[in-house]
């Protein structure tokens, strides 16, 4: 599969005459991405995390495993801070810095039949003991974690000034064999 282009330190835009990964001419100013350099999730510093995440992103999902392998799905991801009383207590294992929504057609990435009412929801989870940052799309979440095992789980491998990238997988109990999975990039607008 051809690599998509991303530079988190200085977002690069694809030239209008360069082909994209699905064999079509790319529109001018379309930002593309590639998989994260690290195979492991980043240990994210929680300092200023709410502020660093808040905003709108152009997001690209590239499927590399499962029945939609080599498919590209794009949309917009918007994140806003959670209310302070909903973020979790200092000694809680999970911290919820942000919530939001997405325009991504998640049904192309996961089995969402159980959660159609929450298909555009986004919840950001920060795991205090590992310092890993994850985003759960299309699944309602309560104060103690996911309430439904559906949706798409994003694991952040890199978080920078211009966006984030990492891997995604179908988070459903009936995710299929092999489950849908791949990499994603979210570029700040």
CATH code assigned at 157 = 2.40.128.120
> Is 17 part of a structural domain of the chain?
no
Residue 9 within any structural domain of the chain:
no
Specify if 36 maps to a domain: no
Whether 72 and 185 have beta carbons less than 8 Å apart is answered as no
pLDDT score of 12: 36
* 167 pLDDT more than 90: yes
Position 80 in a domain = yes
Indicate the helix (H) or strand (E) that contains 156: strand 152-160
Instruction: Determine which of 15-19, 44-48, 149-153 has the lowest per-residue pLDDT on average.
Output: 15-19
Judge whether 151 and 172 are in contact, CB under 8 Å. yes
Q: Could you give the 3-state DSSP secondary structure of residue 134? A: strand
Q: Is residue 114 part of a domain?
A: yes
Of the two residues 80 and 115, the one the predictor is more confident about is 80
pLDDT band at 128 (very low <50, low <70, confident <90, very high): confident
The residue ranges of DSSP E strands in 26-151, in sequence order, are 55-65, 72-81, 94-95, 98-102, 121-127, 132-137, 141-142, 145-146
Cα gap 185→31, rounded to integer Å: 10
* Total domains present in the chain: 1
Distance in angstroms (rounded) separating the CA atoms of residues 51 and 37: 25
Mean pLDDT check: name the lowest of 2-6, 43-47, 112-116, 161-165.
2-6
Is residue 100 in a domain?
Answer: yes
165 inside domain? yes
Residue 154 lies in a domain: yes
Question: For the chain, what is the mean pLDDT?
Answer: 74
Residue-wise pLDDT for 33-43, tens only, equals: 677 766 778 88
Domain that holds residue 74: 49-188
Q: What is the DSSP string of 39-60?
A: SS------TTHHHHH-EEEEEE
Q: Is residue 7 scored above 60 in pLDDT?
A: no
Q: What is the pLDDT of residues 59-106, one digit of tens each?
A: 999 888 876 555 888 999 999 999 888 888 767 888 889 999 999 888
Give pLDDT, residue 85.
83
pLDDT recorded at residue 24? 36
Mean pLDDT of 166-171: 87
Per-residue pLDDT band at 177 (split at 50, 70, 90): low
Cis amide prior to 48 (ω within 30 degrees): no
């Amino acid at each position: 599969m051809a690599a998509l282009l991303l530079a988190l330190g200085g977002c690069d835009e694809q030239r209008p005459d360069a082909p994209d990964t699905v064999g079509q001419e790319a529109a001018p100013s379309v930002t593309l991405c590639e998989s994260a350099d690290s195979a492991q999730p980043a240990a994210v510093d929680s300092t200023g995390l709410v502020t660093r995440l808040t905003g709108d992103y152009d997001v690209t999902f590239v499927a590399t495993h499962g029945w939609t392998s080599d498919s590209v799905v794009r949309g917009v991801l918007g994140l806003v801070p959670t209310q302070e009383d909903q973020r979790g207590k200092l000694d809680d294992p999970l911290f919820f810095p942000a919530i939001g929504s997405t325009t991504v057609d998640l049904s192309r990435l996961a089995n969402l039949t159980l959660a159609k009412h929450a298909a555009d929801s986004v919840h950001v989870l920060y795991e205090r003991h590992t310092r890993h940052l994850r985003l759960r799309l299309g699944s309602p979440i309560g104060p103690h974690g996911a309430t439904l095992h559906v949706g798409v789980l994003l694991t952040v491998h890199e978080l920078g000034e211009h966006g984030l990238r990492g891997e995604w997988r179908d988070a459903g109990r009936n995710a299929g064999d092999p489950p849908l999975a791949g990499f994603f990039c979210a570029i700040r607008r």
